[in-house]
Structure 1
Amino acid sequence: MVEAVLIDLFDLPANLQNIIQGLLHNTLETIEKCSSIHAPFVYVMCCQRQGSERKDEQGFLLPALRDFQNLKRRLEVVHAVTTAAALYTIKQRLDEKDLSIIKVIVPALRKDLMKVYIDHLFTAVYQFEFEDLPVVSDCENLQIPELHGEGQTFSTQDVAHIRSEIQMYLENLPSLNGELTILRSSLIPDNIFLHGFTTRTGGISYIPTLSSCNLFSSSKRRDPQIVVKENLRRLANAAGFNPEAFHRVKVDHANAVCIMGKTEPDNYDGIVTNQRGVTLAAPGADCIPVLFADPVRKACGAAHSGWKGTLLGVSMATVNAMVSEYGCNVKDILVVLGPSVGPCCYKLPHESAKEFHRIDPKCVRLFDSASPYTDIRKATRILLERGGILPENIQDDSITDQNQNVTLCTACHPDKFYSHFRDGTNFGTQIGFISIKD
């Protein structure tokens, strides 16, 4: 069942008011007849002409809107200077109401154009169906700007232009829920490395569980890649790294490690480099973002360590890659565990918790229960120490920074961090990042 209808009047000339009113009236009449029981939300997308008053523009549409009592409370006219701005505003309305099934009624000559915008601004969470707005058959005198015909492919240059328009719009949006904040550890020397762990504030993601500096996009969440890219740009600007030389692990919840400069695996949870100016990152939304730094050999790494990756030894796999690739001495490597779900909150099924109990009984609390509390941080420390990392070279919740604790519990601090455990499917993601300074 269609939950929302988007009517695209954006490129229809404002001087043909009577024709546009007729088009809108006929379209709304059809919607109301077809959905008399469950009226969908209706959004009418219009261009706000440069130098015009919004009230004047909306005023000429009023005669077409008056007759639809069933739709009256569910109908909104959205004016904007660009298609990107109008569509993003409508996306916000859809997300406020958690709507996902949308019919787009669009002039045939704008259909392919609209699909490109939608591909950039939405994810697979949403379902779209398209219907032609009959501007040609009903209005023979109506001329709209010449665009690609239906079914034609947009060139790379066309897509780049649309992407640029969206990016420019997003760059001008205000930051939400406070300033962008980065947590840093004094264990990693800042004269050699640039590093940090992000919190959830200072980005543009507006959905409550993703607000506001979400740094990961997936087909199951509502933040598209282009929004995450803007959040990353703001982070890079604040932290001082180049977002174009940024490499995030491809999460597989396993222990494969990517060596920068060599063939990239399909999936990996660890990544290492000795190249200056290249920023490595690992995500976390309960899983541990782990950072590695060797100030002697000037090499660094990042790893994503969830409970599966912890058991598979992803942190020591990352250490071993630094040793084998860059000649690092394990006793020189510094390791910092970032914000992650703590033993105060994290439970695992008994069968999985048993594996942590085998590492050390201290990693599990209430072991005899069906879902014991499990400490993936302690397990990570124990495995690192067994691999030769010096205890004093590991920072976690047992050894916190005198100035700033970077290993806080993500589930316990909803104002600071995202948490899959706490927030459910549409959760946001923070990262740990590190690079060798130029």
Structure 2
Amino acid sequence: MAEAVLIDLFSLQMNSQTNDIQKLLCSMLERIEERFSASAPFVYIMCYQTPRSERSSEQDLLLKVISSFQILKKGIEVVCKTSTAAALYTIKQKLDEKDLSIIKIILPVQRKALMEVFIDHLFTAVYQFQFEDFGVDCEGNNLQQIAEPQNDIQTLPAHEMELIRNEIQTYLESLPDLKGKLTILKSSLIPGHIFLHGFTTRTGGISYIPTLSSFNLFSSSKRRDPKAVVKENLRRLANAAGFDSETFHSVKVNHASDVWIMGKPQPDSYDGIVTNQKDVTIAAPGADCIPVLFADPVKKACGAAHSGWQGTLLGVAMATVNAMITEYGCNVKDILVVLGPSVGPCCFTLPQESAKEFYNLDPKCVRQFESPAPYIDIRRATRILLETGGILPQNIQDDSVTDQNQSLTFCTACHPDTFYSHVRDGTNFGTQIGFISIRD
């Protein structure tokens, strides 16, 4: 059963007869009331709003007629915008505010293929859409019944797809930053004249859902932030940091220790990535897991790794180091390693069976070991493994050495205004990243 109904009037000609529009809406609303008499859904009417400078008196009257339904019928909202992207994104915000996921769209059959493309870009698999034709010709000057049902259009021409993508991108680029300015944290350990790098926080993007707001940099089918929004956040980061978002590569997390050497065939999943190419930016995500950056200023090579508790135990950090040594001839004593923001031992627990592996590595990695769910220090464990592998202690930046810059190693769970946290926020959580590239 639909939780919301969207009536798409966007493509109706604004010189259509006002009476015809009124009759159409009355008919559809009556149909909705009959069908959902037991549990009335929220109803959104989406229509085109001509820029005021171009609007005629007839168009003003038509908008007033459509808007009047918002007053007459409880649970109806009218959304008038100058583009489909703007109207649909506004309705998405209303759906998310009410936590609605099942939506029926009533629209002209000619709009279905186009609407599916917009939905693909602006929504994720969390939402379920059903389509129903309201049986009018949206291309003629008048509202005329379609005599014969038309077959669904499966695909749009490439140039129309591109127009839709451009419309969405233009609209998202116009949205203001939320929750403050875009902030990039940098390490004094990595030489800035050789490497461009940083760690993001959660401010300065356009993601509006509370647990994803505002600078979320990862889209998942299980969350409500679509790829288009994440792409816009990344574009803003690239502009601020000075890299090309079109040559950006982030690890494909598998919570293991596989490493992709850029230039070789790309695995389906990997938690580390290394390169010596100057025209690319590589990154690792984190939302409690550690985004780890690696830099060799001698051989001018770099790496990024995603190190959660499983990846830490599997040795993803040293696997990334070893890939740099093997592929680029790096000396382990030249490699600099910076651990970005992650969950601290103050907030992260594991069942005792898993905690035993950290305790065996070093008892200092575990607090309250005798409890059913001991607290785990994955950053200390990562340092121990790196030092064991030959990385010099002074070449590692984390919070286990008190005289180093700790602005990069806050506990993500303890700082809700600055960082995302899966532990704190649950399944619909946002993601920050650590990124690095070699300057020209």
TM-score (norm 1): 0.95
- What does residue 358 of structure 1 align with? 360
Does structure 1 residue 61 correspond to structure 2 residue 63? no
1:166-202 per-residue CA deviation (whole Å, 9 max, x = no partner) reads 0000001000010000000000000100000000000
Q: Deviations over 1:221-260 (max 9, x none)?
A: 0011010000000001111111111010000000000001
Deviation (angstroms), 1:135: 1.1
Q: Secondary structure at the match of 1:60?
A: helix
Deviation at 1:389, TM superposition (A): 0.2
Aligned-residue identity in percent: 71
Answer yes or no: is 1:109 the counterpart of 2:114.
no
AA partner of residue 288 (structure 1): I
CA contact (8 A) 2:70 2:78 kept: no
Match of 2:322 in 1: 320
| SS of residue in 2 equivalent to 1:411 | helix
Cα deviations across residues 335-366 of structure 1 (Å, max 9, x unaligned)?
00000000010001111111111111110001
| 8 Å Cα contact 1:184-1:404 kept in structure 2 | no
- Per the alignment, residue 275 of structure 1 pairs with 277
1:428 Cα offset (Å)? 0.2
Following TM superposition, where does structure 1 have runs of at least 4 consecutive aligned residues deviating by more than 4 angstroms? 53-57, 62-67, 400-404
Contact 1:183 1:406 survives alignment (8 Å): yes
Partners of 1:84 and 1:295 lie apart in 2 by 45
Q: 1:136 to 1:164 in 2, by over 3 A?
A: closer
- How many residues are matched? 430
Q: Which AA in structure 2 matches 1:33? A: E
Instruction: Spell out the pairing of 1:127-276 with structure 2 (5 A cutoff).
Output: 127-136=128-137, 141-142=142-143, 150-276=152-278
- 1:304 is matched with 306
Give the Cα–Cα distance (whole angstroms) in 2 for the partners of residues 208 and 63 of structure 1: 32
Residue 4 (structure 2) aligns with: 4
Query: 2:70·2:77 contact (CA, 8 Å) conserved in 1?
Result: no
Contact 2:398 2:404 in 1 (8 A): no
- 326-335 or 152-161, which moves further after superposition? 152-161
Structure 1: runs of 5+ lacking an equivalent: none
Rate the CA distance shift 1:208–1:375 in 2: closer, same or farther, 3 A.
Answer: same
Q: Does structure 2 conserve the Cα–Cα contact (< 8 Å) formed by 1:289 and 1:431?
A: yes
Question: Which one-letter code corresponds to 2:127 in the other structure?
Answer: Y
Per the TM alignment, residue 119 of structure 1 is displaced from its structure 2 partner at its CA by 0.7
- The residue identity in structure 2 corresponding to 1:130 is F
- Structure 2: 5+ residue runs without aligned partners? none
Displacement of 1:152 after TM fit?
A: 3.7
Summarize the Cα distance change of 1:193–1:218 in structure 2 as closer, same or farther, 3 Å threshold: same
RMSD value, Cα = 1.9
Task: Give the Cα separation in 1 of the matches to 2:322 and 2:114.
Answer: 49
Q: Distance in 2 between matches of 1:270 and 1:152?
A: 39
For normalisation by structure 2, the TM-score amounts to 0.94
In 1, the alpha carbon distance for the partners of 2:241 and 2:106 equals 43
CA deviation vs aligned residue, 1:374-416 (integer Å, no higher than 9, x gap): 0100000000000000001000012367666101100000000
- The amino acid that maps onto 2:337 is V
Change (3 A) 1:201 1:57: farther
Asked if structure 1 preserves the Cα contact closer than 8 Å seen for 2:201 and 2:432, the reply is yes
Show the counterpart of 2:29: 28
Q: Which amino acid aligns with 2:261?
A: I
Distance 2:39 2:245 in 1: 46
Which deviates further from its counterpart, 403-412 or 216-225? Answer: 403-412
What is the identity, as a one-letter code, of the residue corresponding to 1:384?
L
* 2:364 counterpart of 1:369: no
Hey, what does 2:387 align to over in structure 1? 385
Residue 166 to residue 398, structure 1, CA distance change in 2 (3 Å): same
Q: Does 1:426 align with 2:428?
A: yes
